[in-house]
Amino acid sequence: MLIARGSIDVAILILRAWLGLALFDVARVAGFAGIHRRVRSCGVARHQSSAPELIVWAVDEACVWYFTRVFCLQRSAVTVWLMRRRGFAASLVIGYRPVPFESHAWVEIDGRVVNDRPQYRKYFHVLEQL
């Protein structure tokens, strides 16, 4: 896919996504509160660059090459960070289903799920939206 897109910018985007995954692992030491603060404080750039779909693809590609399994919170936090840096007002949404208990995190732009299946919005109660 990278060769088909044929761009140094795409390679840099994948590298930034991979580094974001690694930084998330380092920030995990501070606990969920630290990650929560970092995502909440990440501002949105004034000018949009790249397409949201390309950013989602780059994060997914970085997850393939990451050295440990990447869970939904890590993947979604990094996606939000990259999207905001590129001018998209993305939100990190954390939801849960009470019975049987399950939690999940995803990314939304203007109320639309962009990095996962849209039915999560329907079947999960929103616990937090950053």
Euclidean distance between CA atoms 50 and 107, whole angstroms: 16
Q: What pLDDT is attached to residue 3?
A: 42
Average pLDDT over residues 96-102: 92
- Per-residue confidence at 79, pLDDT binned at 50, 70, 90? very high
Query: Tokens 């890590």 identify what position?
Result: 74
- Coil/strand/helix, residue 56: helix
Does pLDDT of 8 surpass 80?
Answer: no
pLDDT at 4 over 90: no
What percent of the chain shows pLDDT beyond 90?
A: 52
Predicted TM-score (pTM) of this structure: 0.85
Average pLDDT over residues 119-130: 88
pLDDT, the chain, mean: 86
Three-state DSSP class for residue 58? helix
CA dihedral 47, 53, 91, 35 (to 10 degrees): -100
- Residue among 50, 56, 51, 65 nearest 15 (CA): 65
Q: Is 61 helix (H, G, I), strand (E, B) or coil?
A: helix
